[in-house]
A = this chain, B = another copy of it.
Amino acid sequence: SRSIRLAVIPGDGIGQEVVAQGLKVLTAALPQDIKLETKEYDLGAKRWHATGDTLPDEELASLKNHDAILLGAIGDPSVPSGVLERGLLLKLRFAFDHYVNLRPSKLFPNTSTPLAGRPDIDFVVVREGTEGPYTGNGGSLRTGTPAEVATEVSVNTAYGVERVVRDAYERASSRPRKKLTLVHKNNVLVYAGHMWKNIFDRVGQEYPEVTTDYLHVDAATIFFVTQPERFDVIVTDNLFGDILTDLAAAVTGGIGLAASGNINPTGEFPSMFEPVHGSAPDIAGTGKADPTATVLSVALLLRHLGYDAEAARVEEAVAADLEARDDAYRSTDEIGDALAARVAG
């Protein structure tokens, strides 16, 4: 009988709580004959405080031996900014070559949006995950002195851009509207921007069925709030994707609903699924965290592993649960139970 080897990194703050719900729903969704083997990894702020480790090589090697990774949230104010992000979260994305950072945005019925008029929102951002200003290139000279110079280098390769652009065309081509928008800033970041645009145009010749568009990142933020229904698939750089997907989450029901997949499409490395939100230490342990983003990330995980019907069932359960929500308080656990029951039922 088949099995799934799942690595679980609950992480910090509400990470623990939301991941528990994700696992509940995953178990409820999987066919009976699929064995789910989970292995938990103790990584994050507590571990770093205790041992100084962020992600030791042996654990990285052990994580590799899995079909997928489910991650809760990483980060705590007690840890200097950047230590866990660079040393753990981004290390995973880079080591496992997660070049497609997939972030769907959908405004479900009965969810709140800060936008008047409730536009129809249903798009997906394909954010590059292994290049751009996220590579850690750069440095600081004369640190802390009045003569300090600090640089950050955005590194972009045709290899890296072409593969993510191609992935985005494939996704656009398989969706009803077949529209792909490139977002960059090629009027200022001319070297990287022109390379992105040239590759985008060239690869597009292989997808004549896909309608294309280009927007500068600043203009894109305007359309996110005035006309989000115009977007279908968006492909963009690592940093622009980071910014745009938080904004997208904000206009589609909040960061409590935003799912993401850090995908290695070749299958050479395990892909990693995580909610877009952070560890929210202010509400950790209170049962107030909404596990929906994690559950939707589980749906992405299922689809990535080929369980399309199961993924759809999870997404339908989320839609039904949101539709049925009233103002009554439900804890993280209760929402998880309700979702698992819908999926099982």
* A interface residues (Cβ-Cβ under 8 A, vs B): 75, 81-82, 85-86, 90, 113-117, 133-134, 136, 138-140, 142-159, 162, 185-195, 197-198, 217-219, 221-222, 224-226, 239, 242-247, 249-251, 254-255
> Which of B81, B138, B156, B187 contacts A191 (CB under 8 A)?
B138
Q: When chains A and B are docked, how far (Å) is the Cα of A192 from the Cα of B243?
A: 17
Q: Is the CB of A222 within 8 A of B198?
A: no
Q: In the complex, what residues of B have CB within 8 A of residue A145's CB?
A: 158
> Which of B147, B157, B193 contacts A82 (CB under 8 A)?
B193
Give the number of copies in the complex: 2
Q: Is the CB of B151 within 8 A of A90?
A: no
Q: When chains A and B are docked, how far (Å) is the Cα of A191 from the Cα of B185?
A: 22
Closest Cβ neighbor of A139 among chain B residues = B191
Q: When chains A and B are docked, how far (Å) is the Cα of A103 from the Cα of B146?
A: 27
Q: Is the CB of A191 within 8 A of B154?
A: no
> Which of B142, B191, B244, B254 contacts A152 (CB under 8 A)?
B191
Q: Is the CB of B154 within 8 A of A187?
A: no
Q: Is the CB of B192 within 8 A of A221?
A: no
Listed A/B pairs (28) with beta-carbon separation below 8 Å: A75-B187, A82-B187, A82-B188, A85-B187, A86-B187, A86-B190, A114-B115, A133-B188, A138-B153, A138-B189, A138-B191, A140-B195, A146-B158, A149-B155, A150-B156, A150-B157, A150-B195, A151-B155, A151-B156, A152-B189, A153-B153, A153-B154, A217-B243, A221-B246, A224-B247, A226-B254, A243-B243, A247-B247
Q: In the complex, what residues of B have CB within 8 A of residue A187's CB?
A: 75, 81-82, 85-86
